[in-house]
Structure 1
């Protein structure tokens, strides 16, 4: 009876919340990464070299870093529904304004402000999911969220190729059309969030009393297990929590590898001789393959109630694929190697993100998840910056790919030495305990 109730409740929550959450994260990723496709015409028109482009691609994350923790604490105070809608409108407007870039300085400014306005969105979504889904479901739920990452890269590739064909329409370059057209969904969907998103289980008129009671009881038991008699931590105490800082270091290294791929894969394929349209379509291939691998990896992690080895092995697969891509060089076999890399890089994320919520709850979780994500996303600056610098210095992408492979490998090494394996006793418990989560 309880199992049937559990399945029914989780199914209702999933169908009600996940499609919208996946779509809005999908849109967020498009607006942060479409710069890689706008770069074809923009670098020519604005006189940007690979070094400045790397700065522009990465400076987004400096704005993101500075405003991430305050934004997530505001979300905890004002509620996810209203705060997420506010973020979406802000970033949508700023993404469109990037079309007004007139040179390196304005391009860098708009990219920085885009990061500042989007800050708090992803950790806010992760925090929101902890309000609704018990720990045993979180890797699968997070994998559904991360479908937006390789999925959006695939769609961005195809859609951007189509929008770039508007080049010259009404005298407007294609890269400017790209920023404006792909910014509109964020603003429009903000109003859907206000109308559809439910704040907490207690507010869910679409759950019956029995389902609410089960869900709230299960989540309350998990929060109590996390606290284990400790008083709730203050909102800023987590900034000095060793476990959160170690998780941030783990995430920093894998994100560096991720965004080095995201911002330079189209340019790497284009350098092989593909046209702009062909580049858009071919770029979609590794992300589609990565999507399938990520989902299967997350299902395995949840079924085995295991995070550590799933994360480590995924990072090693990503590192191997990136190193092989650099070794193969300009051959089309590099596309196959990059597909292997995306399986590992994206497969690592669903195994990682259940970890913070296993030792943090309440306001501390809001600050902790934001801290991990904000420090980690500095990798979004480091990856493009260093790959751009290596490309400018060497004339090729091989050295940059080896650097990204090293980052993925380093992430696996840090995780191996700092994430504590769960014992058989801990694995048998109905809820993840703080011991499993004191994984760092």
Structure 2
């Protein structure tokens, strides 16, 4: 399917001197007025999206295998908690180290090319790791180095992918496309991949990573065959540092998106805190064992999967303000319920609703960014937003350990609910409706 590289919509872009310039938004598929539903309202997504969705399913399965296998492999080598935690930290660290610079890369080169080449590189790296497991004994330094290398590639791929979707579907289909993509990724990486990994790990660790390598290669082939116009580089020859500052300045000047990123950071912090100590909450306050913990965590993932396809409809019916405000209120309510009513039933329902609220927030805000941010800046804004979440999540887990030790687990959860409430009120522009967001299009975002 051939698509034009421009649409009739326009977006604002901050120029090198800090002024706002009107320019056509690039990368989005324009509506076809000759086709019923061609105004973008049709839910029938193009063939290019289905290839992208299939690639997401395949790579999500590989992610589920690897995310489960790496801590198991580390624990089989060393029982020291610091060694096992180092593997997880190594996978997240690239977001903090390189996230902003990768955003520049995603804005300078063709994103589809960046995606399939990165997946191909990941396939080679994972295959090489599988070979090393066959010919030698694994060690913590080797596992940490591998987690860091794959994490670096993950930053590149995720940043490019987040900015690539507007080139595949009509602007009005972004919500539906994001919902389906996120649901597929959660389903494969959290439901299907982990139990398979547990079974295959007991049989052969090397084969598990060999399968993971194959999923990357297959995903690379699928992305390579997506037919969209090649994107021309959006950079004007400025230095990397200047490009990074330009992206940060644009986000800071856009009040709605800036406030969304702050609220997202608060929720990621609290989410990291909740998940970081939840196993202790299950043991100490619910009196459940490992099976109960696994079932409750499945409730969280089930909330993600159940609501993701529904979010575009909720957004269309309620609007952005109601959808985002509801998501924040549900987060506050579930944390409060966990603090005040420590029972298995309440915990299961709370985890389900927490997962649904988190997914609602993600689908709506990702779609708003893709609709609103100029194509030439989308990679940098996307990487900044994701870096906030990946930075806040482990910090929340770390803070939870300290806070829960000082005041207890349940008071800590209540404090988390209060933190989200305070931040949401202080940065309430981030809960703005689509109409409020649209006011920024075609004018200086700092003027809102």
- Please give the TM-score of this superposition, normalised by the length of structure 1: 0.71
Which residue pairs with 2:186 in the alignment?
A: 150
Is the Cα contact below 8 Å between 1:164 and 1:178 reproduced in 2? no
Q: Secondary structure at the match of 2:373?
A: coil
Which among 5, 14, 24 is matched to residue 55 of structure 2?
24
Which among 377, 388, 404 is matched to residue 390 of structure 2?
377
For each residue in 1:189-245, what CA deviation from the matched residue of structure 2 results, as whole angstroms up to 9, or x when unmatched? 212211x21233999xxxxxxxxxxxxxxxxxxxxxxxxxxxxx9675122231365
Which residue pairs with 1:314 in the alignment?
A: 327
Relative distance call for 1:148 and 1:389 in structure 2 (3 A) is: farther
Partner Cα distance (1:437, 1:30) in 2 = 40
Partner Cα distance (1:52, 1:330) in 2 = 34
Which among 84, 87, 90 is matched to residue 121 of structure 2?
90
Which among 133, 140, 155 is matched to residue 176 of structure 2?
140
Tell me the CA shift for residue 57 of structure 1. Answer: 2.7
Which residue pairs with 1:61 in the alignment?
A: 92
Q: Secondary structure at the match of 1:88?
A: helix
Partner Cα distance (1:338, 1:375) in 2 = 23
Partner Cα distance (1:178, 1:390) in 2 = 38
Partner Cα distance (2:413, 2:207) in 1 = 31
For each residue in 1:329-375, what CA deviation from the matched residue of structure 2 results, as whole angstroms up to 9, or x when unmatched? 47354222211111111111112123334543132223222222223
For each residue in 1:159-190, what CA deviation from the matched residue of structure 2 results, as whole angstroms up to 9, or x when unmatched? 422432345536x5xxx765554453123221
Aligned residues between the structures? 395
Structure 1 position 301 matched with structure 2 position 315: yes
Which residue pairs with 1:416 in the alignment?
A: 428
Partner Cα distance (1:114, 1:179) in 2 = 12
Is the Cα contact below 8 Å between 1:54 and 1:389 reproduced in 2? no
Which residue pairs with 2:75 in the alignment?
A: 43
Relative distance call for 1:269 and 1:152 in structure 2 (3 A) is: farther
Which among 239, 245, 254 is matched to residue 248 of structure 2?
239
Which residue pairs with 2:266 in the alignment?
A: 253
Which residue pairs with 1:226 in the alignment?
A: none
For each residue in 1:295-332, what CA deviation from the matched residue of structure 2 results, as whole angstroms up to 9, or x when unmatched? 3233221345x323321220221232234335444735
In angstroms, what is the RMSD of aligned CA positions? 4.3
Structure 1 position 115 matched with structure 2 position 151: yes
Relative distance call for 1:407 and 1:125 in structure 2 (3 A) is: farther
Partner Cα distance (2:56, 2:419) in 1 = 25
Structure 1 position 129 matched with structure 2 position 165: yes
Q: Secondary structure at the match of 2:338?
A: helix
Partner Cα distance (1:239, 1:319) in 2 = 29
Partner Cα distance (1:113, 1:406) in 2 = 38
Q: Secondary structure at the match of 1:355?
A: helix
Which residue pairs with 1:339 in the alignment?
A: 352
* Unaligned residue ranges in structure 2 (runs of 5+): 1-30, 233-241
Relative distance call for 1:28 and 1:5 in structure 2 (3 A) is: same
For each residue in 1:234-267, what CA deviation from the matched residue of structure 2 results, as whole angstroms up to 9, or x when unmatched? 6751222313654432332333345556777689
Tell me the CA shift for residue 151 of structure 1. Answer: 1.9
Which residue pairs with 2:237 in the alignment?
A: none
Partner Cα distance (2:145, 2:426) in 1 = 34
Which residue pairs with 1:222 in the alignment?
A: none
- Please give the TM-score of this superposition, normalised by the length of structure 2: 0.70
